[in-house]
Amino acid sequence: MTTRVILVRHGQSTYNAQQRIQGRLDHSVLTEQGKADAKLVAAALQDLPLDAIYSSPLQRARQTAEEIVAHLGSSLTIESPETLLEVDLPLWQGMLRKEVQTQFAQEYQVWKQQPEAFKMVISTPEGPKEHYPVLAMHEQAKRFWQDLLAKHQGQTVLVVAHNGINRCLLSTALNISPAYYQSILQSNCGISVLNFAGGWGEEAQLESMNLTNHLGVALPKFNKPEGIRLLLVRHGETQWNRDKRFQGVKDIPLNETGKEQGRKAGEFLKDVHLDFAVSSPLLRPKETAELILEAHPGVELQLNPLLAEISHGLWEGMLESEIEADYPGMLAEWQNSPETVQMPEGENLQQVWDRAIAAWSSILESAKPGTTGIVAAHDAINKAIVCHLFNLDPQYFWHFKQGNGAVTVIDYPYGAQSKPMLKCHNITSHLNSGILDRTAAGAL
């Protein structure tokens, strides 16, 4: 049974508004904006039955959870373990961000660029001690997951916490290194959805991350003049998706649902200024990209064959039951250890990784500073690209869901050579009224 965790960052706090470092300092409370946004989170969750609610004990998170519970009309008791406390920054908390950048310039650069190596020397009764905030948070996040997953197997749980601990909760669940702490955006009252196949240490999947459409914010701001933004889109539904047939490089067009998903994706992105667009040459992503570009008539669609879907070889056109009958045990291997599977007369995931990364790199290299583009491709290709952002190899293929017509936002804030930032993952809220991915998203 799948355990679903709805992860929410607290609403805007007084320290957020003042641009102060908060850490574990408990002086800040929700602003009126923060309270209003918490109500919007409740509205987004209203049709989703919850079995438990957890919150950080710090009042900005606790207030957010209380607002959500009140507007859901829930009778659940909010549990507040210390394993949901925010990152501990004792030398900075309470200071304005600009003050920290000036007074601790070198340390701040390490915090932003090498978070896994960032340390503070703090005084203890035993003498000075080196404190590594991000590494400590990763261990704290693991303890939280161990406890939650032991208690709530097969249930749906709401967790309301903070920017730092939420980043570490996502990272530890998905095997992402602490080095990428700054590469995961968590907006105030943003919603993320994680699915766990079993207990701690078993398979986890990021269904979506940092959804903000319920707040009236389609995409996070992009205001870095030297930055590059790439909007990664999976193609709309085909009949083979609906039937759960393996497609691979078979050139199956969009069905009517897929065309509607493409149109809705176009509506969702119509106010986003696009400078370029690249697609797999196969019909389903090409048609999806063309529907999006109807609102951007000056943008020419480029085709890159390296973005074509994984070749499933002899599996293409087959249902899972047919694959199991003809290749006993191989489908289970694909589902549990995908990196070990060589598709009969097709590809393996390392081959997909190599060409997906080559395509992504070429797109980045040709993008000019300050530009935004869409990349329309496929389930396996998109998963490989998202894994690549965090230096994850093919064994983590199933960690990142890709729904038909979904949009993922990836920024390179300081140009193509800078470390990427995942701003949003697998947005499907423009396709339905809820936060869950309800697309076919079946066989590849």
- Report the C-alpha dihedral over residues 183, 363, 205, 318, rounded to 10 degrees: 180
pLDDT in tens, 155-210: 999 999 999 999 999 999 999 999 999 999 999 999 999 999 999 989 999 999 99
pLDDT confidence of residue 122: 87
**Three-state DSSP state, 370:** coil
pLDDT in tens, 378-433: 999 999 999 999 999 999 999 999 999 999 999 999 999 999 999 999 999 999 87
Which residue positions form the known binding site for substrate?
A: 234-241, 284
Q: Decide which of 2.60.40.10, 3.40.50.1240, 3.40.50.300, 3.10.20.30 is the CATH code for 3-215.
A: 3.40.50.1240
Instruction: Tell me which architecture the domain covering 228-427 has in CATH.
Output: 3-Layer(aba) Sandwich (3.40)
Instruction: Tell me the domain boundaries of the chain.
Output: 3-215, 228-427
- Give pTM, 2 decimals: 0.96
The answer for residues whose C-beta is within 8 angstroms of residue 366's C-beta and 6 or more apart is none
> For residues 191 and 17, what is the distance between their CA atoms, to the nearest angstrom?
20
Residue environment code for 72-82, b if the CB has 16+ CB neighbours within 10 A, otherwise e: bebeeebbbee
Handedness of CA 288, 404, 44, 192 (dihedral sign): negative
Active centre residues (catalytic): 235, 309
3-215 and 228-427, same CATH topology: yes
Residues 64, 10: contact at Cβ < 8 Å? Answer: yes
CB atoms within 10 A of CB 249: 18
Q: Which residue in the block uniquely carries the two structure tokens 């997906």? A: 356
Relative to beta strand 127-131, strand 120-124 is antiparallel
Q: Which residues of the chain have pLDDT under 50?
A: 442-444
Element (H, E) at 3: strand 3-9
